[in-house]
Amino acid sequence: MPLPRPPRAVIFDMDGLLFDTEVLYRDALSAAARDMGAHMPEPVFHSLIGLPGESSRRLLLDHFGENFDVDGLWDASAEHFHTLARGQDFLKAGVREFLDLLDALALPRAIATSSRHEDVTFNLGRHGLEGRFHAVAARGDYPRGKPHPDPFLVAAGRLEVDPADCLALEDSHNGVRSAASAGMMTVMVPDLLAATDEMDALCARIVDDLHAAADLVRFSLGA
């Protein structure tokens, strides 16, 4: 089935959608917590997925206690992440083919992420994808992070496309909430978090992978 409207732009989440980094972040955070004599439960990590920095900080303090060194945890997890990522290809299946399709259709595309610009640059450079996106909305570019609509609205604004004409692709619950509240056609591609009844209600479609998401674009535009 096609999308509700032919998209005029595509906005991608990054972690867990373009790159298989959520698993790496989970393992890095778990290792960092162990270094500090703590334990990172899987449900706590799942609650962090798609959250902006300050919301993540609050969640961690609520779990570990007000005196917990969140900055120390993040610094250590960043070191573990780069160690785990070194030499790995963690690009999700179908990304290059999807971008090639968008090139052929002359559709602009952006990234809307809770991560830092440095992380976007690292991930794109690691996989030779520099210049494949027309805009990036990352941490620091918007007043409120996901699940608020701001990241996707900023991305659409930078593409100069009406949010209603944008296709948003997300893997997380907070990301879907963000994109849907921005008024975008939202497609979920689940990663670590399964789709729920709420996600089904918010999304135009839920698909298994980016190949299927690209097929939606192709079919909706008669390409």
pLDDT digits (tens, 9 = 90+) for 85-143: 887 889 999 999 999 999 999 999 999 999 999 989 989 999 999 999 999 999 999 99
pLDDT value, residue 76: 92
pLDDT value, residue 219: 95
Annotated active-site residue 15? The verdict is yes
**Six-digit token pair at 108?**
């602009």
9-20+90-220 is a CATH 3.40.50.1000 domain:
yes
List residues bridging with 137 in a β-sheet: 112
Q: Are the C-beta atoms of residues 221 and 48 closer than 8 Å to each other? A: no
Annotated active-site residue 75? The verdict is no
Give the separation between CA 50 and CA 176, rounded to whole angstroms: 9
Task: Using a pLDDT cut of 70, give the percent of the chain over it.
Answer: 100
Mean pLDDT of the chain: 94
Residue in this structure with the two tokens 């952006």, named with its chain if needed: 110
- Among the listed residues 13, 119, 150, 171, the single catalytic one is 13
Q: What digits encode the pLDDT tens for the residues 3-35?
A: 999 999 999 999 999 999 888 889 999 999 999
- When pLDDT is averaged across residues 199-221 and rounded to a whole number, the result is 98
Give domain limits for the chain.
9-20+90-220, 22-85
- When pLDDT is averaged across residues 26-53 and rounded to a whole number, the result is 88
